[in-house]
Amino acid sequence: MSGINIFDVWAAAVSGVLIFFSYRALRFRGGIKTLSEIANHHQFEAWRKISIVIPACNEEDTIESAIVDLLKVNYANLEIVIVNDRSIDRTGEIINRLAATDSRIKAVHIDHLPEGWLWKVHALQRGLEFTSGRWVLFMDADVHFAPDAIKKAVLHAYNNQLDFLAVIPDISAPGLLLQMGMAQLFHQASILLDPRRVNDPRHKICYGQGAFMLLRRNVYERSEGLEWLKMEAVDDTGLAILMRRAGAKMGVISGLNEISIEWYKTFPALVKGLEKNSFAVCQYRVSILVAGIFAALFLVAGYTIAPFFSHSVIVRCLSVAATLLYLVAIRAQLKTILKVPLKAVLLFPISSFFLPLICIRAAILLKWRGGLTWRGTFYSINELKTGQRVRPSNLSFQYQATPTSVPSEPLERPRETASM
């Protein structure tokens, strides 16, 4: 009987990690709710006004259809502020035309980005200045809503006494390669996210999602404001931290079948789009990036390569069982938030290499260029480091310090008329 070799230990250790990740994925699945589960109420009166702020930069291909869908939602008291941020295509023209046809729309045009601001955070700040609603919804320019989606989100916020609600959108991803990348991205981003803890005010976990973030204005107004985030690349999680620091009770819910977005149209576009955030998640530190890549490769090779060199039949069986359990758990987890085909999950051992390679590429480019060019503006690495508020290296997005909070004013239930 041959002795235990390094591949036995490696494969067994990784199997234990996969079992833990499977538990986390299944816990996520059990803790996340979907908007489609929210009871649908009809013909509401006197709902609190929601001010929707939409930053847009060169969005001529998507913004009109998104706004047309938004205007059809079943929520009467809307105020829509669309911020055209230095677009060089037809975005500004489209926004003006839409504003001329519907009084709910306000067109705001920005032709200058102040020094020391990232474009999207500044656009949100400018848009916020033109709002008056008790609720504010920050969303992207390519988000599409089912008719009752916003109503259900407000009902969920009311029923759970929330001050900040993030909705994970259903991502439309054409092509298998892009679907594999999206599945891997969302799985890794949520593997250590427990929705129950986000929804529990006793915990400090924060989660933001740029496609849909609904917040109560009076809680936001006692925070440090968006200026505190003006150079934060991971701005959505930054906003969640900002609100939690102000004492907000938070929630996260799935928008499957209710809120959708075509985030990227091609895999190269995904790689390009992640330039801004992927190295930021490592706090712009090569040491964290290298450690993360080593850990990822150690895990992937531990269940794809090490078992073949193991001398133990028991270890090989354990590795196969743990891998199958992991794939089943991933499938179960992703089905609650995305329409991902089964083959994209079965190819996880291959797509596991995607994000490390994307992070390496982003880090090399930032180091080589000395910074990041985003939406036509160059930001040095020192600027980005100095303005960073999110510390995602702790993998839980916990905020660091909490200012003295003021109790939230009670939420008022919208008055309802009888259903027809």
Residue corresponding to tokens 């190269």: 268
Q: Look at residues 304, 250, 280 and name the one whose alpha carbon lies nearest to residue 363.
A: 280
Does the 30-270 domain belong in CATH 2.60.40.10? no
Backbone phi, then psi, for 324, in 5-degree steps? -65, -40
Question: What's this model's pTM, rounded to 2 decimal places?
Answer: 0.87
Across 120-192, the runs of DSSP E, i.e. the strands, are 135-139, 143-145, 164-168, 170-171
Cα–Cα distance for residue pair 67/60, rounded to 1 Å: 12
Contact 252/199 with Cβ under 8 angstroms?
yes
**Counts for the chain of helices (H) and strands (E), in that order:** 18, 14
Contact 210/140 with Cβ under 8 angstroms?
yes
The domain limits of the chain are 6-29+274-388, 30-270
Cα–Cα distance for residue pair 91/94, rounded to 1 Å: 5
Residues of the chain with pLDDT under 50: 1, 45, 393-411, 413-420
Q: What pLDDT score does 321 carry?
A: 96
- Please give the full DSSP string across 54-86, using - where no structure is assigned: EEESS-TTTHHHHHHHHHTSS-SSEEEEEEEES
Those residues with Cβ within 8 angstroms of residue 404's Cβ, 6 or more apart along the chain or in another chain: none
Contact 98/54 with Cβ under 8 angstroms?
no
Cα–Cα distance for residue pair 213/228, rounded to 1 Å: 17
Tokens linked to 161: 């006494």
Q: What pLDDT score does 408 carry?
A: 46
Q: What pLDDT score does 392 carry?
A: 53
Q: What pLDDT score does 418 carry?
A: 32
The SS3 assignment for 362 reads: helix
Q: Give the DSSP H or E segment for 372.
A: strand 371-374
Q: What pLDDT score does 410 carry?
A: 46
Q: Write the pLDDT tens digit of every residue in 149-207.
A: 999 999 899 888 899 999 999 887 788 888 888 888 888 877 778 888 887 777 777 88
